[in-house]
Structure 1
Amino acid sequence: MTDSSPNKELEPDVTFNAASGLLKLEGRSLMRDVQDFYQPIIDQLDKTTVPTYIIDIKLEHFNTGTARCLYQIFQILNGKKQMGATVLIRWFSDEGDEDHKELGEDLESKAGIPFQYVKNK
């Protein structure tokens, strides 16, 4: 079945495996109802307790609402890190896209968790 939702190209692909602590966000995040989209992810992440969390951020473009939701995710992860969990946040960007990397660095400074910067292949 194909999703013909007009917002589909504005919403990221999300994969979250609560058992392994792996969360992947990929694509574009430009929808208007950002909080409605991310709240179930935020709630599930908050309820999840695993020794290691790996977060892959592969967002090509995102809006300020998405940045606020990412910050909420990072706050939860910071709390889990303070409780002893290992947290790895990987920020993916195209080689030479310094603006996108700087967005990651800005979020990293607010998150209180070091990011690993990865160049897309």
Structure 2
Amino acid sequence: MTGRDGRARAKDKGDERRGARRFAVRDFKIDLQSEESFLFAYVENISELGIFVAMEKPLPVGTKLTLRFPARGDVGPLTLGGVVRWINPPSGRHPGMGIAFDPLSAAQREKVVALVRAVAYLTHD
């Protein structure tokens, strides 16, 4: 990898941590439900492994969630389990939380891949 000055730079720890390419998205609202709350949130980026949602008061790391994605492109509504893996606190410059999807069945994985493609395509037209 090279930096802006053309010199080689080490991989970002985030690059090593992520196992799938992330795509920035706009206007993609989902429902999040934990044992204690029901929320609406905007997805800021998505991959085959999880999402980042912008949120002023992120839920604690380890919170288990049910994620409900609306239909997008040719992909119908989708419901998945997930867990909060990391947060950017409200005092930070970009508050929100990273949510990893629970292990997916083959059918769920196909739907997630189709959703990622649909969202990436519709966002980058």
Q: TM-score range by the shorter chain?
A: under 0.3
Q: Which has the higher helix share?
A: 1
TM-score for both structures, normalised by structure 2: 0.27
Higher strand fraction: Structure 1 or Structure 2? 2
Structure ID, larger Rg = 2
TM-score by length of 1: 0.27
